[in-house]
Amino acid sequence: MNGLTLFGLIAVTSMVLCYGFENRSPWFVLGFAVSCLLGSAYGFLAGAWPFGLVEMVWSLIAVRKWRMAVSRERSPLAGGPGSN
């Protein structure tokens, strides 16, 4: 296994793990976004540019989802601490 293949394996494995845990914390959603960026870099480096483009789009979607989750978490209407 060469370095590029190992990099791709780590990127995709972290995507799957973060996706699986994203309902536990918004930080896993952000981790998914970063993992998608790593997967995108792997796709471009491996010459699979369609994969690289799709992963880049997924990263943008995940960042938007993370921002919405963080704003919901901080909102007094979300039912969090101090929302009496």
Mean pLDDT by 10 residues, the chain (84 residues): 94 96 94 97 96 96 94 70 51
Q: Note whether residue 37 is domain-resident.
A: yes
pLDDT value of position 73: 80
Query: Does some domain include residue 65?
Result: yes
Residue 43 falls within a domain, yes or no?
Answer: yes
Whether 71 contacts 26, CB under 8 Å = no
Decide if 30 is inside a domain: yes
Range of the domain at 67: 26-74
Specify whether the CB–CB gap between 32 and 62 falls below 8 A: yes
Does some domain include residue 9? no
What is the number of domains present in the chain?
1
Residue 66 lies in a domain: yes
Q: Is 79 part of any domain?
A: no
Residue 60 lies in a domain: yes
pLDDT at 1: 86
pTM reported for the whole predicted model: 0.83
